[in-house]
Structure 1
């Protein structure tokens, strides 16, 4: 579905999924950086939020297929347009891959933990992959994708801040929650 010409931003479903994803990613980074085998409650929260991230990403993809994003802002140089598209596509790959790697690690763990303490998380059928080498490889991949996600997160947020405060366009406002848009506009000051 094409983005309506008169629309000023993403629809409320896009915005909700986007900001929930941001909150979950930030929580996952904090938990991932503080948890250990000695903090099983933090591990359980990390694993549960990881599955939430996977569900949010699948919901985002389903919504994306029926509701196109607004076009890129005019005036971008070709490399900027390429970078914007590349960062978004890499985000999608990482947002699918990271929770699947984490779920695989969970599935190979001898210690089952329930989803937010409520019910068992199903294990992926990994069968003969249960060796220590597989866990080490998956743990390394999980760390690498986390680092890539952090880089993409800062590139994406930095670009939004640059658009809002330096280029003074409405790119950030297109995704901002409706109640936050007036404050962001005041913080930026007058238009170009």
Structure 2
């Protein structure tokens, strides 16, 4: 099943959600578009529903699955998920973001400090600094995302709903792209923030 076929099939989900003979087709379609972590199960009424095996969440609609797939909590869980006990080792934050297909925004506001064997990160936008995995969680999370959205788009100061946040995130990604290559790398012992790194270990 290619992506075009998968998208077309998922578009018909509401019409066929009680057709149990199509469960394998919808399972393949969900995995093709949204990733191998998605499965399709039957609820107590024999209606198909989507299941995120990483987050242990059930979705009754394709739109809900799409929204969850882009949510900060799902992206964080993908980062820490270890299938069959095997941990993926990432080279740096760029590698982690590319490997998990995270739709992070405001990456040009992130600095990477590097000396051989050590990495440390700072988000200029939020004043946050931490090691790689924690910085990943930060840039896909709500605080950083909301702050960049409000800097980039006139959306008022109200608290955003999940849908508003994801719609605006998508708008910014479509406008700017995912600026992974704009993460600024700062090399050398002279600039490495050893004090920050020690503080973050406390």
State the TM-score bracket (shorter-chain normalisation).
under 0.3
TM-score by length of 1: 0.25
Which structure has more relative contact order (CA 8 Å, sep 6+)? It is: 1
TM-score by length of 2: 0.24
Whose strand fraction is larger, Structure 1's or Structure 2's? 2
